Every structure is written in C-alpha cells, then in structure tokens.
Amino acid sequence: MRTVNIHSALSVAAVAAAAFVWQANPADAAKKGGNAAQRDAMIEQCIAKAQAEAPVVTPGMSGNRRTEIYKSCMVQAGFRP
C-alpha cells in the first residue's frame, strides 16, 4: 500500500511542476523581450556598437572583443544575446 501512496504523491507533484513550468514560460518570454521588433532593433544597434568599438578583427583572432561588446550590449538592454 505504501508504494501506491508514494507513486500517487510523486505523480501529483510531477503534474503540479509541469503546470507551473507551462504557465511560467509565456510570462518569462515576455519579460525577456517578447517583442521581436524591439529585439531586432537592439541586435542591429549592438552589432553597430561592436563594429565601431572593435573595427578591425586581426587575422588569426576569433573576434572575441566584438563578441563580448555585443553580448554586453544585449544584456544591458535586457535581452538574451
């Protein structure tokens, strides 16, 4: 009998967790910049900023400085890079 009770409790917990995750996703997406037009505009601005601050990518280097500038710009604007 105890195994059935544990199984039932775990099933209820799994359903509750799944419902919480399902409900949290739309709000989380909106909070992180759900507006595609705003995100696209910020991407363009951050790329331009990275190119202006690190105009030359040295041969043999991977452009890490530009990448870091871009990532920093996006995070500061509240978007995921």
pLDDT in tens, 7-22: 665 565 554 555 555 5
Q: pLDDT tens for residues 69-80?
A: 999 999 999 999
- Which domain range does residue 48 map to? 34-81
Residues 22 and 41 in one domain: no
Confidence of residue 33 (pLDDT cuts 50, 70, 90): very low
The pTM score is 0.54
Number of domains the chain contains: 2
Residues 53 and 76 in one domain: yes
Residues 49 and 60 in one domain: yes
Which residue is listed with tokens 């917990």?
13
DSSP 33: T
pLDDT at 37: 93
Residues 38 and 3 in one domain: no
* Per-residue tokens: 64: 């890490």
- Is residue 51 pLDDT above 60, yes or no? yes
Name 63's Cβ contacts closer than 8 Å, sequence gap at least 6.
54, 57
Residues 26 and 45 in one domain: no
- Is residue 60 pLDDT above 90, yes or no? no
Residues 76 and 40 in one domain: yes
pLDDT at 2: 62
